[in-house]
Structure 1
Amino acid sequence: MSPITVTIENIFKDHLTLIQVVLYAGVISILWFAEVFSSLNPWKDKLRHSGLNFLFIFTALPIQLSLTLMVIVISEWAFTNHWGILFLLPYSSSIWVKYVAGFFLLDFFEYVYHVTMHKVKSLWKFHLVHHTDTQLDVSTTVREHPGETFIRVCFLGLWVFLSGASIGLLVLRQTVQTFSNIIAHTHFRLPSKTDKILGLLLITPNLHQVHHHDKMPYTDCNYGDVLSIWDRLFGTYKEMEAADINFGLDVFDNKHASHFSYLLQSPFPKKNSTTG
């Protein structure tokens, strides 16, 4: 590995979380204003809706920042000890094998994570907070219960441990994932022909909007993180006309969807009002 490569990896290792936060904030801000200027709805309504979602940043960020350090430590250990699936592959010393195969492997793991969050009842209680948004837009990206933030980053640590992903691969993966997740949650839609082509490989806004439809089986489809190929392979791929999509969850009372404190408490058992 060249000195330049080592220096770049050290920069990313030391500032990975800061880079993610700055990138995340910048892309969301640009797309948020693009949505404002392209929407017919009053900007005050959008600001009110986005304000609720942006509150989740303050509950998620401390968890994200602290646990990302854990992920970096795991990555360094796995890479140093040649531990993980990537080191079992033929030509594992090739940078193309490490980065291309590694990217696909981590994306598959994220598909598994997303399916798990939907199928395991105790985990779904946290993930459903994300799905309760009845006005899908770019701010929905950050609408994540802090409990899910903790679970998500812990799973990421597990995926890095199993794969043996290096810091360089992790940075590449997280950067692409950031752009993909944010764009997928915008209210913009691609032209049908463009969506058909891109959707052969990628999760587009059109496809992810189907995932946010309020009724089954559409809520349990299009789990893909960056790539749509896993949904096609495992039979969870679905399409739907925009006019037929209704955002939110039919199993959740929408009157609570805009109450931050209620959403934070929703995964936990309600206290019994009776005594005895």
Structure 2
Amino acid sequence: MNINMNFLINYFSDAPDWHRVVLLTVSIFLFWNIESFSGVTLNYRKWKHAFTNAFFTIPAIPVQLLLGYVLLKVIDFDTNNHFGLINWLPTMKPIYSFLLAFIVLDLCEYAYHVLMHHVKTLWKFHLVHHSDTVVDVSTTLREHPGETFIRLSFLVLWVLLSGVSFWALIFRQFIQIGSNVFAHANFRLPNKVDKVVGWIFITPNLHHVHHHYEVPYTDSNYGDVLSVWDRIFGTFMELDANHTIFGVDTHMAAEENANIKNLILMPMDEYRGGQKQAISSPPHQTQQITFPRLLQQNSFSRLKKERT
């Protein structure tokens, strides 16, 4: 175990950025091909949709470079000043240190995601991601550069407070990349498999619920890699694939959610709150969600007009 951990520590301490790019590319390629013949949505222009979403990787580059530099400085600060939760705890084996760092950062990502949904200004940036009316692997790339800045700024704060080491952070990011692409894939696991895997990890089945066009489902299943936080904090929900409609009810018009210029300007638009647009559900999505399911939510599952 020590030999294996030493290998991992050495690798993730020096892993070049292009390794993460390769992992992202391979993950997208793998799940792209699976969803092409077993997806829950097949009747859409897959390549055009992918190019629209992939555009957001371009303005994200300078933001990632800037905040990546800040992140390195924060890690150096924690190390040199023995600052942060992990540095304050008794010395532990690397494997336990990594597991603790992984769990702490995953909880922080859950908290970040909740904030993005319930603070109006933050939601307007996150809305760009949610406005995608066909969730597939390319949706992973659909993040407004403003949200990229917000997300990485929160990550800087989480790293500062947690005291996570550089190698552990990069190791987690490798896992996070594969997990996020998988969660956005346009297919679902068999229900029996999902019942097992979904007890711990976010699956496409669970994340599709999060991308349903109406609350309270939009405000559920916030987990990043782990689903346990949603179960603990009462934000866990399930919804059958036949009842799931992707998008956000306030932005279902194609000229808004599929036009790059309008997507970039979307956070600057007036906040739409609890407005509802009249949309026609496909025949297989017309069955109504039962009221008892809506009553099972806690205070996190509120109408968008109540965002603070």
TM-score, normalised relative to structure 1: 0.89
Q: Which residue of 2 aligns with 1:93?
A: 92
> Kindly tell me: are residues 71 and 241 of structure 1, through their superposed partners in 2, closer, same or farther at Cα, counting changes over 3 Å?
same
**Aligned runs of 1:154-233 on 2, under 5 Å?**
154-233=153-232
For 2:67 and 2:73, how far apart are their aligned partners in 1?
A: 10
The alpha-carbon deviation at position 125 of structure 1 amounts to 0.3
**Is residue 19 of structure 2 the alignment partner of residue 8 of structure 1?**
no
Q: Which residue of 2 aligns with 1:32?
A: 32
For 1:92 and 1:108, how far apart are their aligned partners in 2?
A: 22
Aligned amino acid, residue 112 of structure 2: Y
**Aligned runs of 1:53-72 on 2, under 5 Å?**
53-72=53-72
CA offsets per residue over residues 232-258 of structure 1, 9 Å max, x none? 010000001110000000011422111
> Kindly tell me: are residues 8 and 262 of structure 1, through their superposed partners in 2, closer, same or farther at Cα, counting changes over 3 Å?
same
CA contact (8 A) 1:181 1:226 kept: yes
Q: Which residue of 2 aligns with 1:142?
A: 141
SS in 2 for 1:225: coil
The alpha-carbon deviation at position 212 of structure 1 amounts to 0.2
SS in 2 for 1:114: helix
Most deviating of 150-159 and 44-53: 44-53
Q: Which residue of 1 aligns with 2:245?
A: 246
For 2:9 and 2:192, how far apart are their aligned partners in 1?
A: 43
Instruction: Say which structure is richer in helix.
Output: 1
The alpha-carbon deviation at position 93 of structure 1 amounts to 3.4
Q: How many residue pairs end up in the alignment?
A: 265
CA contact (8 A) 1:125 1:266 kept: yes
Most deviating of 260-269 and 93-102: 93-102
The alpha-carbon deviation at position 66 of structure 1 amounts to 2.9
Aligned amino acid, residue 53 of structure 1: N
For 2:88 and 2:20, how far apart are their aligned partners in 1?
A: 29
Q: Which residue of 1 aligns with 2:286?
A: none
> Kindly tell me: are residues 51 and 231 of structure 1, through their superposed partners in 2, closer, same or farther at Cα, counting changes over 3 Å?
same
Q: Which residue of 1 aligns with 2:128?
A: 129
CA contact (8 A) 1:133 1:248 kept: yes
Identity %: 45
Structure 2: stretches of 5+ with no match in the other structure: 271-308
Cα RMSD after superposing both structures: 2.1
CA contact (8 A) 1:117 1:127 kept: yes
SS in 1 for 2:250: coil
SS in 1 for 2:267: coil
CA contact (8 A) 2:133 2:252 kept: no
> Kindly tell me: are residues 75 and 218 of structure 1, through their superposed partners in 2, closer, same or farther at Cα, counting changes over 3 Å?
same
For 2:96 and 2:33, how far apart are their aligned partners in 1?
A: 39
> Kindly tell me: are residues 5 and 215 of structure 1, through their superposed partners in 2, closer, same or farther at Cα, counting changes over 3 Å?
closer
TM-score, normalised relative to structure 2: 0.80
**Is residue 22 of structure 2 the alignment partner of residue 22 of structure 1?**
yes
The alpha-carbon deviation at position 50 of structure 1 amounts to 1.0
Q: Which residue of 2 aligns with 1:273?
A: none
Aligned amino acid, residue 14 of structure 2: I
For 1:110 and 1:249, how far apart are their aligned partners in 2?
A: 22
